[in-house]
Amino acid sequence: MGVVITAAGTALPDPSAPASVVDLAGRAARGALDGAQVSASSIGVLINVGVYREHNTFEPAMSALVQKEVGINLDYIADPEPAAGFSFDLMNGACGVLNAVQVGQALLETGSAERLLITAADVHPGGDADRDTAYPYADLGGALLLERSADPRAGFGPVRHYTADRPTDVEGYLDTGTMGRHGRTTITVRREAGHAERLSEFAAHAAADYAREIGIDLDRTLVIGPAAAAAAAADSTGAEAGGGVGAGGEPHTAAPVLGYLRALDSVRREDHEQLLFVSVGAGPSAACALYRPEGW
């Protein structure tokens, strides 16, 4: 281990304006930086993992816009703490945050960066998810600030990925054949009947496989993930569920950030010595990662 979460933040849309992934990711990132009391110029790498964007924007890379919004190394000459300030998008749906953690581990452990920021934000293409009852995700932004720790017992364990041996039963896409003049503000999300139950079952199997592979003490492990998936994983592995996110307009890529913050607010540290992140989504695919906060 050795790569820890120094700070985390979330952001909700401003009700007076259309939701924007750049705004949400930027505010969540600034909240994390303020919590850690570090400057934006000290961030070496920013990885953005959000999927759904206002107006279905595909270019330029959203990470560059978030980097500008946060104020990371905008002027190499004038900045008192110059760093590379590299940023890029990494999209893998609900598993994106843990994918970014895996990349962050490689960059931080090799000394390629001192601090790494992960941002995740999704918004309805029309700018207000609450107005579309058929759209399943909430407008939400989240951010994690990662650094190396001197404590070899603290931080993330290995990130593992799992793929189910069956076709996906959920997908989101822009239907170019029927979008007409409203294509910039609409999106098609297909979820077959029983989708939630199947994903929860798959998450449980992934968590159980991970626990066996890594050798987790399940009696002292708190599972973090979407509520149904976390509960199913906990039931299957014997761990306790916590920090879950409810269904019905649930967060998408930012769910692990929100789950982590909720877990820290509610967990009794004397009862748990580690956390287990479980993410599951389209593919069907799942990702799991052990995490032990500093001082636990």
> Strand pairing partners for 25?
none
Reported as a single tens digit per residue, the pLDDT across 171-180 is 787 777 767 6
Reported as a single tens digit per residue, the pLDDT across 227-272 is 644 454 455 444 555 544 433 368 899 999 999 999 888 777 777 8
Reported as a single tens digit per residue, the pLDDT across 80-134 is 555 667 899 999 999 999 999 999 999 999 988 899 999 999 998 887 788 888 8
Secondary structure of residue 243 in the 3-state scheme: coil
Q: Does domain 157-292 have CATH number 3.20.20.120?
A: no
The pLDDT score that the predictor gives to residue 246 is: 36
Domain definitions of the chain by residue range: 3-152, 157-292
CATH of 3-152, one of 3.40.47.10, 1.20.1630.10, 3.40.50.300, 1.10.645.10: 3.40.47.10
Identical fold, 3-152 and 157-292: yes
The model carries a pTM of 0.88
Angle between helices 96-109 and 255-266 (to 10 degrees): 80
Q: At 266, list the tokens.
A: 């509610």
C-alpha to C-alpha distance for 233 and 225, rounded to whole angstroms: 9
Q: Are 236 and 208 in contact (CB under 8 A)?
A: yes
Reported as a single tens digit per residue, the pLDDT across 133-186 is 888 888 999 999 999 998 888 999 999 999 988 888 877 877 777 676 666 777
